[in-house]
Every structure is written in structure tokens, then in C-alpha cells.
């Protein structure tokens, strides 16, 4: 094989040597392309799989942990919840509309391919500076439209998410999507081919030249030439997806489907090798049977194309016609392309000729890469940090923070998403820390995704444990108990020891949190190479945690709105001088550094237990977790939702701060603001005290001003209408509509 051909691929010299050793011959060009797709970082997790072993993956409700298309959780009475997370960062950076839309398409396919119906989507988006960068605004607008157009058309409600802006994402925006599914345990199918002589059927879209080498493209840094890489981005077809959804769910009900695999990254190569590897079998296909958009496509293009809206079905022989009737009803294109064989090889034939023959498990399991790791210099430099002075007018500071694009209302975004379709959205976007859905079995599901790149940049360990703590608080705040999580880890180039150090710290932080509160990880995703070659700059470490929880009694669901009009405000937890990576430091003082909020695992466990007790007894009326922007921001959000001002005494909170700005804007973990009634006050206090969690009455909701006093002196005073205006209108004003 000449070097010219090899240079199109991203396989390393070591990997090529390993391939030759195993095959005991020279691989041909098609075989090399197949290894290149399957052994890409995107498909193989070769840099991360060893580190990811730290996550606990088993738990009481877990039916299936990581390793398949989706994690599966027991929802009771034979019903299941499925969950998975996906990103489409590289494609969205060069084609934000198509990249984001096909990201949604990909995650829906994962949920459908285990035989469950998608019931909700979340997304988490990260862009460069909001106000000053036209590029960021363009990416933001197109990504939101792409997500909306796709999810709306398929009819899956997008019920929550987050949007963050930070200059480190200027060229590498992050587009993460989470999907939740619902189905019956006895209709679950997995991506495996267990029975020899079962048929392999491809259904859905035709295979085209879009998405060629997409997995490999996503496993490299973004350079100037990538602006022309649009052919690596797939074309979204949500209408076909809707047809596939209905056809798949109808056909799994027949009981004659033994496996389903969505075709995503790595295309047919990845799909075929993984179902054989998981099933302990081999697969033989006739490449000329694959429906293609262009008859001139080469075998290589067909094997690695990532064209959207395609699925592989493994069907019992003799039952195919029954399945084809369903495909015909939904006007889908399909073709029997091969069968399951005993010999554990992936055999690709073109008519009579064998054009590739590879040991299937060898192809499906790339050799691991062990990277060097080193604490980043920048973290050491930041240890010498000088605190900024306290500004005079704290009211002005609060209004500015509320209008920061990271904190302000995301109404402009979620009004473009159909968050009502499905007629099951109980707590809607913007109404609480987490969304709540009614499940068809009349249980309720809370869901939330959180990240915090600013914290993770300064302290990857505490930052990453902290986002999980925040997600859990959000789940608790609506009255649910966290039951499972999925992680998504987004970093720069893993070959950079400093990047890899942050990655390992981040995984450790999240895994430690999971262990401390017995929260199983049921799936995840790793996205490396989020790095810009032009400025040689990696994104800030950006893990994302998505947590789900159950609520059985709808009367226990809570939101920001005080349903019973009780107006006593309680502060839960301890406010420390932890402003590193805070919105206050970065938006108001433009400084990066300082101590990031630390996570105390033992405290967290007690907090969960105490909070669940208070929830169970229905002692609180409304709830919000304190995170970005601190107590002052949380208080403002409660006031806005209840259309009331508040009067509080800041000295009453439990704190270790020397200054008022620190008390108001610190982002310490483990805190909530609650409202409760006079009647329940003693009982709430008693429960929190029993678990040694500070609980203090700090003031009440009242009139139309937010008044914060300290030592009988007023330190902050703003009108509710100013607060509303700052919080609600910023994004639509900047987006000019």
C-alpha cells in the first residue's frame, strides 16, 4: 500500500502495523478505510475507555448500562426508560443548521434502535462571546433552528437544556443533545446479531456521499481547510426519520426482529462490525445490494458513508415479508444486504468477489491508546490570584448579571422548540430547574442537563463533580429522586498531556460523585479534538451531565411558582468564598481564576437524603437551586416567576464570607432557596437539622422590590420591573427580534 493512499486516513503507523500483524497480509484500500472509520476516536473510544471504567454502572433500576445504543432503566410494571447523549460539534461548527439537525437525528436513532419511542429531547449548547461575535450569533441562530426544525417535525418535545457563551468556543461550538425514550421491557431489541442465518436488512435513506469519513473528521482538530469539509456533514431528513420511527416500533412488536442498529458514525462498517462483535457471530454482505444515491459510488464510499436516516435490522429468516409490509406502509426503501454467519468475520462481497474480509471483533475493538498526562501550566499560574474589589452599587451588578447571556432567560430559544407535543410536559422550559414529563404509566420523570466550562477550566475535578451536583439539585428541586445519569465529555486533543490530565480529573470528579450518592452512569459519549488549529487553542474542558429522576405522586411536583402562595424564604446550605469561574468574576470583573466551588461528597449525600424527606412530606412550596450568579440570581428568578419582590437579611444565610458581594454571588454547591409556609417551618428546619444541613429563614416574598439588608443597612435595592427587563429580554434584543 503506498503512502499516498494512507495519507487520506488518520490511522497511526502503530495501528497499521497491528492490522498487518493480525491479518498476516497487506490490507487492501477498502479494508484500510474500514479500519480508519471504526478505529477513529469517535467510534472506538480508544483513548478514553480505560479511564471511563471508573464510573459505577450498576444500580437498582438499571437494566442495561453503557455499551449499547442507549442505557435502559426500569420504569416499573414492565416499562422502561431509555436515555442517551450525543454531540455534533464538528459538523455544527461548519454547517450549524445541518450539523445540529443531524445531531438530533442521530440521538433519536439511538433511542429508536433499542425499540423505544423517543419522548423528550434536551440540548446543551456552547458558543463564543455572545454580543461581540457575529460568528457566534450566526452559529447560535442556525443551531437553534436546526434543532427545532428537526425535533418539531418528528414530533418529539424539546423540554430543556442550557446555553453558555465563552470565548473558548469561538471556533468550536458544542452542540449536545440528550434523548429520552419510553417502551416495554419485552420489546427491547439490541444492536446485536446472535443467530446465524438471520437476515441483515438496511432500511431508510439511500446511501450517498454525505458524511464520508465523518467519524474520522470528528476525530481531528478543526483547521482552515475544514471550512470546505461540508461533504462530511450529513443531510437532515426529519420526515424520513418519523417514518423510520413508526416503522421500527411497529416491526419490533412482531417479535421477529432480533437486532436493530442505527447507522451513525462510521456508517455500515461500524454498524455491521458491532452487531457481529456483540452477537458473537460474523456478517456477510453483498455490497451491490445496498441502495445508493449515485451508482458510481465506490465500495469504500458505501462502507464508510454516514448518510442519515438508515437503520440495520436483523430479522429471522422467513419473517422478512411481514416486516417489509410495514416498511411499505411507511414508504421506506429497504434491501436484504446479507446474513449472519458462523465464521466471526466481516465479509464484504461485490457480486461473487470477496472485496474485504476482516476478523469482526478485531475490527470492532481498536487497540487502546495510553496517553501522557500533566497538570496544565495555566492552572499553576492561576494559583496566584488577586481578588477584585467590591463594587459600590450591588444592585447594578445584579441587573448586569441577570442580563448576562449565560444567566438570562432562554425564552428566545425554547419558544422555537415544540416543547408541548406529546401532551405530557408538566414542568415546561423556564419554569424550574428541571423539566418534568408525565409518563404513559402515570409516573413522572424529571430530566436536566448541566455543564459549567468556566468551573471545569480552573478546577476540572471539582468543576466536573460540581456539574453533577448541580444536575442532581435541579432534579431534587422539582421533587424527584435522581436515579441515573449519562455523561458527555468534551475536550481538546488527547495527545496533549495537559488536555488529557483535565480529562482524567474530570472523569474522576464525576465518577466520585456518582459513587458517593449511588448514582449509576448508564451511558455517555466522549468528544475529543475540540481544538482550533488556527489559534492552536483547545476549548475549555466541557463535561456535561444529564440526570433523570422519578416522581410517583403529581402532588409532590414543585417549580419556581409558589402554588400555595406561601412566602417565607429559606436558604439551605453554606455559602463559601468560592467565586472562581463565577459569572460574577467573569462578567463583572473580567477576571478568570480564584477558588472554584468545592464538592463535599458526604455533605451531598446528607443533602439528598434531607431534601427527599422534605419533598416526601410536601413541606415546601417552591424551590430553586443556587448555582450560576449565586443566591442573588436565584432569588431574582423566584421573584420573577411569582411576580413579587422580596425582602431578605443576607446575614441570616449560613456563610464563610467576608464581603457582601461574595455572599450574594458565590456559586458554592449544596444550596437551595425554598419558599415555605409558617405552619411547615419548624418541621422543615427540624429535618434539615437532623441531617446537619444548615437551613435558615432569611426573609419573605413581598411587594415589588428586591431589598437586601445587612446589619440593618440596605446593601441592594432593585425594582421588580428592572429585574424582569434585565432577565427576560437580553437575548431577543441582541438577536434583534
Partner 1 sequence: MIRIAIIRFPGTNCDRDTLHVIKNILKINTELVWHTDNNIDKYDVAILPGGFSYGDNLRAGIIAAHSPALKIIKDMANKGKPILGICNGFQILVESGLLPGSLLYNSSLKFVCKWINVKVNNCKTSFTSDCKKSSILRMPIAHAEGRYFIDNKGLKELKRNNQIVFTYVNEQGIKNERSNPNGSLENIAGISNIEGNVVGLMPHPERSSEKILSPYNNDDGIKIIQSVVNNLKG
Residues that bind partner 1 (CB under 8 A): 145, 148-149, 152-155, 237-240, 242-243, 329-331, 414-426, 428, 431, 438, 554, 737
Half-sphere exposure of 194 (CA within 13 A, CB side): 7
Three-state SS letters, 110-172: HHHHCCCEEEEEEEEEEECCCCCCHHHHHHHHHHHHHHHHHHHHHCCCEEEEEEEECHHHCCC
Pick between residue 68 and residue 150 the one whose CB is nearest to partner 1.
150
Q: Taken in order 166, 414, 265, 292, is the CA torsion positive or negative?
A: negative
Q: In what order do the strands lie in the sheet with 71-76?
A: 62-64, 71-76, 79-87, 174-184, 117-127, 158-165
Residue 380 in 3-state DSSP?
helix
List the one residue out of 461, 444, 443 whose CA is nearest residue 452: 461
Closest approach, Cβ 90 to partner 1, in A, equals: 26
CA separation for the pair 695, 686 (Å, rounded): 9
Contact (CB, 8 A) for 556 and 184: no
Pick between residue 247 and residue 614 the one whose CB is nearest to partner 1.
247
Closest approach, Cβ 561 to partner 1, in A, equals: 8
Contact (CB, 8 A) for 335 and 284: no
Closest approach, Cβ 249 to partner 1, in A, equals: 11
Pick between residue 231 and residue 734 the one whose CB is nearest to partner 1.
734
> 327: which 3 cell numbers?
416498511
Half-sphere exposure of 528 (CA within 13 A, CB side): 24
Contact (CB, 8 A) for 312 and 271: yes
| Angstrom distances, CA of residue 642 to CA of 379, 396, 639, 720 | 42, 22, 5, 11
Q: Which of 42, 90, 371, 669 is catalytic?
A: 42
List the one residue out of 204, 164, 159 whose CA is nearest residue 179: 159
- Number of neighbouring beta carbons within 10 Å of residue 320: 18
Pick between residue 130 and residue 182 the one whose CB is nearest to partner 1.
182
Pick between residue 158 and residue 258 the one whose CB is nearest to partner 1.
158
Q: What letters, b where the CB count within 10 A reaches 16 and e where it falls short, cover 201-239?
A: bbbbbbbbbbbbbbbbbbbbbbeeebeebeebbbbbbbe
Helical (H) or strand (E) element with 505: helix 497-517
- The bridge status of strand 199-204 relative to strand 310-315 is antiparallel
CA separation for the pair 280, 189 (Å, rounded): 16
Cross-strand partners of 439: none
Query: How large is the angle between the packed helices 96-113 and 238-252, nearest 10 degrees?
Result: 0
CA separation for the pair 542, 535 (Å, rounded): 19
42 included as an active-site residue: yes
| Angstrom distances, CA of residue 398 to CA of 203, 324, 622, 697 | 54, 61, 22, 22
Q: Which of 84, 88, 90, 488 is catalytic?
A: 88
Helical (H) or strand (E) element with 249: helix 238-252
| Angstrom distances, CA of residue 41 to CA of 154, 346, 360 | 30, 21, 18
Contact (CB, 8 A) for 235 and 308: yes
CA separation for the pair 177, 195 (Å, rounded): 33
Closest approach, Cβ 332 to partner 1, in A, equals: 10
Contact (CB, 8 A) for 584 and 630: yes
Pick between residue 158 and residue 403 the one whose CB is nearest to partner 1.
158
CA dihedral 491, 495, 496, 501 (to 10 degrees): 60
Pick between residue 131 and residue 553 the one whose CB is nearest to partner 1.
553
Closest approach, Cβ 416 to partner 1, in A, equals: 5
Query: How large is the angle between the packed helices 678-690 and 601-616, nearest 10 degrees?
Result: 150
- Number of neighbouring beta carbons within 10 Å of residue 130: 21
Pick between residue 188 and residue 426 the one whose CB is nearest to partner 1.
426
> 467: which 3 cell numbers?
456539574
Closest approach, Cβ 430 to partner 1, in A, equals: 10
Contact (CB, 8 A) for 275 and 261: yes
Closest approach, Cβ 422 to partner 1, in A, equals: 6
Closest approach, Cβ 721 to partner 1, in A, equals: 17
List the one residue out of 73, 12, 20, 47 whose CA is nearest residue 523: 73
Cross-strand partners of 182: 81, 117
Pick between residue 250 and residue 533 the one whose CB is nearest to partner 1.
250
Residues that are catalytic = 42, 88
Amino acid at each position: 500500500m503506498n503512502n499516498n493512499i494512507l495519507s487520506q486516513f488518520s490511522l497511526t503507523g502503530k495501528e497499521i502495523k497491528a492490522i498487518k500483524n493480525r491479518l498476516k497480509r497487506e490490507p487492501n484500500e477498502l479494508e484500510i478505510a474500514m479500519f480508519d472509520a471504526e478505529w477513529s476516536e469517535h467510534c472506538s473510544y480508544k483513548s478514553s475507555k480505560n479511564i471511563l471504567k471508573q464510573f459505577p454502572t450498576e444500580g437498582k433500576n438499571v437494566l442495561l448500562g453503557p455499551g449499547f445504543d442507549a442505557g435502559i432503566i426500569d420504569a416499573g410494571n414492565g416499562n422502561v426508560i431509555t436515555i442517551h447523549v450525543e454531540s455534533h460539534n464538528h459538523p455544527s461548527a461548519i454547517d450549524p443548521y445541518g450539523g445540529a439537525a443531524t445531531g438530533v437525528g442521530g440521538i433519536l436513532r439511538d433511542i429508536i434502535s433499542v425499540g423505544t419511542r423517543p419522548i423528550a429531547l434536551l440540548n446543551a449548547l456552547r458558543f463564543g462571546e455572545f454580543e461581540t461575535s457575529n460568528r457566534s450569533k450566526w452559529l447560535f441562530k442556525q443551531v437553534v433552528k436546526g434543532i427545532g426544525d428537526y425535533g418539531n417535525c418528528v414530533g418529539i418535545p424539546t423540554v430543556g437544556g442550557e446555553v453558555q457563551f465563552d470565548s473558548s468556543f469561538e471556533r468550536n461550538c458544542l452542540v449536545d443533545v440528550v434523548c429520552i425514550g419510553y417502551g416495554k421491557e419485552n420489546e427491547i431489541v439490541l444492536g446485536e446479531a446472535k443467530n446465524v442465518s438471520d437476515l441483515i436488512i438496511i432500511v431508510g435513506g439511500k446511501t450517498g456521499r454525505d458524511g464520508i469519513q465523518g467519524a474520522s473528521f470528528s476525530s481531528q482538530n478543526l483547521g482552515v481547510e475544514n471550512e470546505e469539509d461540508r461533504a462530511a456533514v450529513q443531510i437532515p431528513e426529519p420526515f424520513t426519520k418519523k417514518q423510520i420511527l413508526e416503522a421500527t416500533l411497529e416491526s419490533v412488536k412482531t417479535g421477529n426482529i432480533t437486532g436493530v442498529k442505527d447507522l451513525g458514525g462510521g456508517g455500515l462498517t461500524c454498524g455491521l462490525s458491532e452487531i457481529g462483535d456483540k452477537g458473537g457471530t460474523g456478517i456477510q454482505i453483498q455490497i451491490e445490494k445496498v441502495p445508493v444515491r449515485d451508482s458510481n459510488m465506490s465500495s469504500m464510499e458505501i462502507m464508510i458513508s454516514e448518510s442519515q436516516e438508515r437503520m440495520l435490522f436483523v430479522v429471522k429468516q422467513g419473517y422478512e415479508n411481514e416486516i417489509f409490509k410495514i416498511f411499505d406502509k411507511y414508504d421506506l426503501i429497504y434491501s436484504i444486504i446479507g446474513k449472519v454467519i458462523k465464521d466471526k468475520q466481516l465479509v464484504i462481497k461485490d457480486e461473487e468477489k470477496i472485496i474485504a474480509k476482516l476478523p469482526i471483533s478485531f475490527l470492532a475493538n481498536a487497540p487502546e491508546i495510553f496517553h501522557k498526562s500533566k497538570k496544565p501550566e495555566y492552572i499553576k499560574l492561576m494559583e496566584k490570584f488577586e481578588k477584585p474589589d467590591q463594587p459600590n452599587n450591588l444592585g447594578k451588578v445584579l441587573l448586569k448579571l441577570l442580563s448576562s447571556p449565560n444567566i438570562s432567560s432562554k425564552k428566545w430559544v425554547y419558544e422555537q422548540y415544540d416543547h408541548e407535543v406529546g401532551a405530557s410536559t408538566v414542568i415546561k422550559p423556564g419554569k424550574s430547574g428541571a423539566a418534568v414529563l408525565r409518563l404513559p404509566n402515570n409516573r413522572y420523570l424529571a430530566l436536566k442537563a448541566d455543564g459549567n466550562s468556566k468551573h471545569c477550566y480552573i478546577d476540572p475535578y471539582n468543576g466536573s463533580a460540581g456539574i453533577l451536583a448541580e444536575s442532581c439539585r435541579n432534579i431534587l428541586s422539582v421533587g424527584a429522586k435522581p436515579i441515573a445519569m449519562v455523561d458527555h465529555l468534551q475536550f481538546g486533543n488527547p495527545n496533549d498531556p495537559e488536555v488529557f490530565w483535565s480529562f482524567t480529573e474530570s472523569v474522576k470528579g464525576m465518577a466520585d460523585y456518582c459513587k458517593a450518592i449511588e448514582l449509576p452512569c448508564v451511558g455517555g459519549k466522549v468528544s475529543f479534538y475540540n481544538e482550533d488549529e488556527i489559534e492552536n487553542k483547545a476549548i475549555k474542558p466541557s463535561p456535561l451531565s444529564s440526570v433523570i429522576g422519578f416522581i410517583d405522586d403529581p402532588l409532590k411536583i414543585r417549580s419556581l411558582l409558589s402554588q400555595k402562595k406561601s412566602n417565607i424564604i429559606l436558604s439551605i446550605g453554606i455559602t463559601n468564598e468560592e467565586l472562581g469561574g463565577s459569572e460574577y468574576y467573569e462578567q463583572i470583573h473580567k477576571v478568570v481564576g480564584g477558588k472554584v466551588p468545592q464538592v463535599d461528597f458526604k455533605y451531598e449525600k446528607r443533602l439528598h437524603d434531607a431534601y427527599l424527606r422534605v419533598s416526601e412530606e410536601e413541606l415546601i412550596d417552591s424551590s430553586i437551586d443556587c448555582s450560576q450568579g449565586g443566591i442573588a440570581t436565584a432569588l431574582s428568578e423566584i421573584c420573577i416567576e411569582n411576580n413579587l419582590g422580596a425582602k431578605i437579611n443576607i446575614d441570616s444565610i449560613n456563610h464563610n464570607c467576608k464581603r457582601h458581594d461574595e455572599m450574594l454571588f458565590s456559586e458554592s454547591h449544596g444550596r437551595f432557596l425554598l419558599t415555605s409556609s409558617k405552619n411547615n417551618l419548624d418541621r422543615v428546619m427540624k429535618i434539615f437539622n437532623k441531617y446537619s444541613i444548615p437551613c435558615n429563614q432569611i426573609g419573605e416574598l413581598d411587594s415589588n422590590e428586591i431589598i437586601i439588608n445587612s446589619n440593618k443597612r440596605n446593601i441592594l435595592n432593585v425594582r421588580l420591573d428592572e429585574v424582569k427587563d434585565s432577565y427576560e429580554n437580553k437575548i431577543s434584543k441582541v438577536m434583534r427580534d
